[in-house]
Every structure is written in C-alpha cells, then in structure tokens.
Structure 1
Amino acid sequence: MSRIRQLAGTLCMVMVLHSTSAIAFFAAPKAIAQTPPTTLSTSDAIQQVVAAGLMNNYADGQFHPERFMSRAELASILVKAFALDTRAAATQENLVEVQDVPASHWAFNNIQTVLKTGIMRGYRGNMFFPNQRVNRAEAFAIFAQAYGVYQFPDDTVAEILTPYPDAASVPTWARRSLATALNEGFVNIDAQGNIRPLQPVTRGDMAYALSRYLARQQQPGV
C-alpha cells in the first residue's frame, strides 16, 4: 500500500491547487492509514459517538445498533458531524424546493443543508424521500463526500476495492467515494471481509464510521 500512501499525499496537493474541481472537497484528505476495520468494537464506537453528541440513544435508553437508517436521519447526523451548516453554500438564503419535506418536518433544516452543500441530492420531481432506507454503498459514499473524496485514478480505486470478496457489487457511481471511505478506515466489514454495499446501513455501521472519523480528528494520521 506504500504506492497508495504516496499517491494520497500527491492528491492532497492536487486538491489544494484545484479547489474548483467538479467534485467538492470539504475536508483535507489525510494520509493513508490501513487500520484494520475490525479493531474497534461496535459497543466502543457507540459509546464514543454518543459521548460526542453525534448520535443519541432512544427514549428507552438503548442505542439499537441493528436498526436501519433513513435519508433524513443520515442527513441530520452528517450536518452535525461535519458542521455542514457552517459551510458557505449552506448559508444561502434561497431554499431548495423539496416537495416531500415541508418546513414542519423535523429534519427540514438539515435536509436543506445537505442539499445546498451538495452532500446529498434529491430525486426527480423535487423529492427527497426522507424516510427511505439507505444502503451501505450510498451511506458511505455520502459520508466520504462530506469528508472529502480522494480523486484516485481508476486503477488505484480498483487496487483498494479488489481485496474485498464482494467488491464487484459496488455500484460504479460509488466506487471512488467508497474507496475513500475504505481507505480512511470508515467502513466496517464482516467476518468474511465483505463490504456488503447493497445491504441497508444500520445505526451501528454509522456509529463505527463516526468513531473512526473522531479518531482522525483527535489524532491526525491515525
């Protein structure tokens, strides 16, 4: 992976020099860190993100890591984790027209923020489908977009994805973003080393990604 580490450093410079690229880079990419995705337990991850205020327990006091996440929930978590509401695009006064998310919706402001910043996109007919489940490919690709996507060349993306048995099931549109998330250690994999890109993302999955992100903020280079 040394070649990928060198390439990541080069890409970091490229993103500084080409900040007007069509792909948005909202966070400076870090150096490659090949920390095994299984080194952090789900319970540890949950404790960390709850303590940081990025996710909350339910009214019964339980986190319920097995529960699936909706688009509205994902939007709200990412706004908080990456302070998306402080980015320039989020401060635009004009609202994005969204037919199925009225101003009374609990996640209205957060959904407006992810749409204005381009972190998430709506569907045809100005629909957002806030209650729709999100699969793991979508969730981690969106997470990577909020973090900052490496502009890896295709051969490097393939090199990152190839070790995973189910890499072929990663949608084409998500490959580069998911490669960034994997490369940064944000993706938890199963015992067989599978990414499971088409399975619904769970609260436990997102807690893991957020805990790894917190570790990077606290210890750059981890």
Structure 2
Amino acid sequence: MLRIRLKYLVLLPLLAGFLAAQIVQAATAPPGSVNNPVVSRSYVEKALQPLRDEISRLAAEVAALKAQRAVKFDDVPTTHWAYDSITYMVNKNIVKGVGAGKFAPGSQTTRAQLAVMIVNALQLPTTGVKAEFTDVPASHWAYSHIAVAQKAGIISGNDGKFRPNDSVTRGEMAAMLVRAFNLERLNKAARFSDVQPGYWAYDLIMRVADNGISRGYEDGTFRPANKVSRAEVCVFLALSLDPARRK
C-alpha cells in the first residue's frame, strides 16, 4: 500500500506541471479554440469586424450601382437599345439630358457637341487654349472644348473652318475616336461594302471596326455619310472608354 502511495506522490509533480502548462496555454490561446473554449462577446465583436467592413463596402457599391441605374429619361426606357450606354455616359458626366426629363436619343449630334463629349470623356483641361478656326469665336458655347480638341489633334477642319453646328457623320466620328483614343489597326476581317480603299476615312473606319467599337449594319455597310444620333454617340464613346464593354 505504501508503495502505491509513493508511486502517486511521484506522479503529483508531473501532474501539477501539466496542469500549469494547460493554464498558461489557455490564457494565451484565442477564445473558442480547443485550449480556450470560452468565447467572450468582445472577442466575437473583434473577429466579426472585418466581415462587417466588407459587407459595408459591398453595400456601398450596390447603392452606387442602383444610383446609376436610377438615371431616367422619359424618352429612354430600360428597353431602349442604347439604354446601358446612355446611363453609363450620363453617370460619368460626359453627356446630359436636354431638359424636361428628356434625352433626345434620336436627335443628331453636331460636331461641336461631339468635341465636347470627347474632351469630357478624356477629362482634358479646358483652360489657357485658343481655337484657330475662323467660325469658332471666343463667344461660342463650346469654344474651350473645341480649342482643346484641336490642340490635341482630335479634330480638324477645312479652309480654317470647323463647321461646329454641322451634324457629325459616322465617318467623321470614326476619325475623331481614332485620334482621341489612339486606336490601332489590327487588320481583322472587318470589311464594309460601302467603304473601299481610297475613301478618305477608310483606314480610320477600319480601326474603329478592328477594335470592336463598330461592326456596321447587318447588310454589311457602315454608311459613313449618315448623321450620328445622340444614342449612337453614347454607344461609340462607351465602347471607346471601356474595352470590357466590347464583345
């Protein structure tokens, strides 16, 4: 009997040391672990904070997206073929409505208006530059934007004139987009039956097509002399600005 008691006495120091180690380990182990199963509320709050922060960030992004979708014009329903591009451009403050809740998507775009949109899209500074076109006086509403676009090599004119109030054509728009966004010729298979080599904008139109900004019409034409509507401008510019939108 004495031998058995002595045996347990020998084990007591070992057991005490083991228990002490467990106590230290529990004190330093994170709550909820095997060594420290008790979870305090403060620990849970701290552990969940990164998750709360991420949820808040995602909620803000969702709210921003909803705000974008909230842009509404009476004449641009969600079913309009250019609705997404118009919404994209409006939310970037590149283009605005025409007033009274209207956007006038089918209205033609003037050369001055397109110059303004492109300058806004590129966020070019519009101070300290002078236009050199004889038909664009300093009093013109788009003077500074036209001056900047001219200096940047985005626009040009004939006989010293820009013709700011003329409706822009699809060929002219292609030329402005190529110069504004430095579109390269990729030599893809895109061809248009009404745009042949030798046409003044042939290479420019091919660059726009190569980069997925325009595929032309279903009948295989590009119709470079057609006037460009406000809706079309929004689509072309949105595709130029955001390559991810190209398909």
Structure-1-length-normalised TM-score: 0.66
Contact 2:239 2:246 (C-alpha < 8 Å) held by counterparts: no
Give secondary structure in 2 for the equivalent of 1:121.
Answer: coil
Equivalences for residues 27-42 of structure 1 within 5 A? 41-42=81-82
The share of aligned pairs that are identical, in percent, is: 28
Are 2:214 and 1:179 equivalent residues in the alignment?
no
Shift of residue 194 of structure 1? 2.8
Kindly indicate whether residue 73 of structure 2 is the aligned counterpart of residue 45 of structure 1. no
Alignment pair present for 1:83 and 2:123: yes
Q: Which residue of 2 aligns with 1:103?
A: 138
CA separation of 1:62/1:171 partners in 2, compared to 1, >3 Å: closer, same or farther? Answer: farther
Deviation of 1:94 (Å): 6.4
Displacement after TM superposition at 1:80 (Å): 0.8
C-alpha RMSD of the superposition = 2.6
Residue number among 197, 213, 221 corresponding to 2:240 in the alignment: 213
Amino acid paired to 1:101: V
Kept after mapping to 1: 8 A contact 2:183/2:211: no
1:208 partner letter: V
- Structure with the bigger RCO (C-alpha within 8 Å, sep 6+) is 1
Q: Give the aligned partner of residue 194 of structure 2.
A: 166
TM (norm. structure 2) is 0.60
- Asked whether the 8 Å contact 2:185–2:206 carries over to 1, the reply is no
Q: 5+ residue gaps in structure 1?
A: 1-39
Check the 8 A contact 1:57/1:63 in 2, yes or no. yes
- Count of residues in Structure 1 that have an aligned counterpart in Structure 2: 168
User: How far did residue 161 of structure 1 move?
Assistant: 3.7
**Structure whose alpha-carbon radius of gyration is higher:** 2
Q: Hey, what does 1:112 align to over in structure 2? A: 147
Query: In structure 1, what is the Cα distance between the partners aligned to 2:241 and 2:133?
Result: 32
- Paired residue secondary structure (2:200): helix
